[in-house]
Amino acid sequence: MPSKRIVKDLIRPLDQYFHVKEDDTVREVLGLLDKAKREKRPLCLLVVGSGGPEREMIKGFVTPRDVVFGLTARFLRGAEKSGPIFWEGQLDAECLDGFSKKVAEIMRPVAAYARESERLMEAVFLLHRHKEDFLPVASDDNVVGTIHINDILTEIIRRASERQEAAAGAVIADEP
């Protein structure tokens, strides 16, 4: 029997995430990611607008990947053109220059969102299409949480286990 679970059933509420503003600095992001790690929260920050009604809008996300590649973007662009050249202290130099960058410079903007009433396969399609690991989830016109690929994988594993147990039960029932 097919599962009737939908996006809403796998949603991660917004209160699990720390928030930063677009005009906060990477230094502030690092502090919040460290705090998220210590508190075993998702290593992802929600980026909200800086003022007025935009304060309530989720504009994007910042993950450890965004920070690392955002801090080293200048080096990576140069390496694509002329090839990589590495030296001692290079990471420190790249990072020191980038700590004052604004969140807006390194964040990943919201590319798409899922509706909480959608089937899980619709969320899988959007995750694949936008090459993301998570998406904001909307109810009406409000973002109410996120759906993460890891949670979808957990659901797939759960379904596989149930089917395996059902098949094993059917085999036992058939035996004399």
Domains of the chain: which residue ranges?
7-174
Q: For residues 153 and 90, which has the higher predicted lDDT (pLDDT)?
A: 153
Is 7-174 a domain of CATH 3.10.580.10?
Answer: yes
Backbone φ and ψ of 89, nearest 5°? 85, 5
User: What are the tens digits of pLDDT across the range 8-53?
Assistant: 999 999 999 999 999 999 999 999 999 999 999 999 999 988 766 5
Q: Ramachandran region of residue 79, left (φ > 0), alpha (ψ -120 to 50) or beta? A: alpha
What does the pLDDT read at residue 121? Answer: 95
Closest-CA residue to 136 (of 47, 66, 76): 47
pLDDT tens track for 75-105: 777 777 777 777 677 778 777 878 989 999 9
Rounded to two decimals, the pTM is 0.77
DSSP 58: E
Per-chain mean pLDDT for the chain: 86
Q: Which of 136, 158, 170 is nearest to 13 (CA)?
A: 136
Average pLDDT over residues 109-117: 93
Q: What confidence score (pLDDT) does residue 162 get? A: 85
Q: What is the dihedral of CA 160, 163, 164, 165, to 10 degrees?
A: 120
Q: Are 24 and 103 in contact (CB under 8 A)?
A: yes
